[in-house]
Amino acid sequence: MIATVLGDITPDELGFCQSHEHIYIRDCPARAGECIDDPGKSLAELHAYRLAGGSAIVDAQPVGTGRDAAMLTRLSQQSGVHIVASTGFHKLKFYPEDHWAFTATEEELCRLFVAELEQGMYLDGDTAFPGVQGKTRAGQIKTALDTDGLSPPYYKLFLAAAAAALAADSPIMVHIEQGSKPLELADFLQSEGVSPNRMLFCHLDRAIADTGIHKELCRRGIRLGYETIGRPKYHDNNRELELIRGMLEAGFVENLLLALDTTRARLYSYGGKPGLGYIIDKFIPFMKDNGVSEDAIRAFFVDNPARFFQG
């Protein structure tokens, strides 16, 4: 089963899924990213995505950084789009020094993550250790690898995430920062007992220039999130297509999950572009025109997410 904010669904029910997005972020001291905090605009974005053919998204905002479990539930109910929510942690630069991300013990963090995965997400936690628990469960553990690597604060957080993943049989998503060392983290998580097929390393298409590292991670069974689509700040769609085709030629069709990693500035309803439906409306036709098969596209958006986000 896959845990969504409206309850468990079967993998076959997930449908077309963009596996790393942000649809609602409220203001808080540890906010990771711009606020996306207008319910009407977020709902309009999801309606447009559904109309284009989208069925599900993974919202990658973890607990304590502006995630709003109640709003994600409301948005899913009103739009008909399945939303998989996240527990976990983001880059430590987002947190005030007195935040529980720094002060909580490994055991406390593990209990928090497991509780959100198995019982329900906490409705607060932005300034103090979470204390009010809802009934809407998270469906994955979002984490972040920065250039600090496994420095003591990150070591504690990743230990807690690994233990929680094993206890709750949860997938782990990892934000990979430019200049970080994903192979080192993969070694660590595997040494803690996390299966490679439960790991999704995101942003390698813009964070790690050496595609040999991409392929080594895939050889281990790790999934990669490519999310630099329609994002000329980093590179154009021709380069993104080149990376995707290279991974297909290497035989890694089952390892890739694609998305936009939306921000406020990239949501059409907030006055930005390209909008949540851009992949369906523009990038999929572009891939087809350049030789990417229907089977591969189905793998990126239907089969691979359905397998990865199963609990």
Domain ranges of the chain: 2-308
* pTM across the whole model: 0.97
Task: State residue 229's pLDDT score.
Answer: 98
CATH for 2-308 is: 3.20.20.140
**How high is the pLDDT of residue 33?**
83
Residue 126 to residues 9, 99, 135, 143, 184, Cα–Cα distance (Å): 29, 8, 18, 17, 30
Considering only CA atoms, which of 252, 180, 244 is closest in space to residue 215? 252
- The Cα diameter of the chain in Å comes to 52
Query: According to the model, what pLDDT value does residue 276 have?
Result: 98
Q: Encoding tokens for residue 56?
A: 């599900």
The one-letter code for the residue type at 210 is D
Cα distance between residue 253 and residue 268, in whole Å: 30
Q: Which pLDDT tens digits describe the chain residue by residue (311 residues)?
A: 999 999 999 999 999 999 999 999 999 998 888 999 999 999 999 999 999 999 999 999 999 999 999 999 999 999 999 999 999 999 999 999 999 999 999 999 999 999 999 999 998 777 778 888 999 999 999 999 999 999 999 999 999 999 999 999 999 999 999 999 999 999 999 999 999 999 999 999 999 999 999 999 999 999 999 999 999 999 999 999 999 999 999 999 999 999 999 999 999 999 999 999 999 999 999 999 999 999 999 999 999 999 999 98
What's the CA gap between 201 and 173, in Å, rounded? 6
If 0-12 CB within 10 Å is exposed, 13-18 middle and 19+ buried, where does residue 96 land?
exposed
- Enter the DSSP assignment of 25: B
What is the rounded distance in angstroms from the CA atom of residue 200 to the CA atom of residue 125? 25
- Which residue from 23, 22, 4, 26 is spatially nearest to 13, judged by alpha carbons? 4
Token pair 């069709």 is at which residue?
Answer: 253
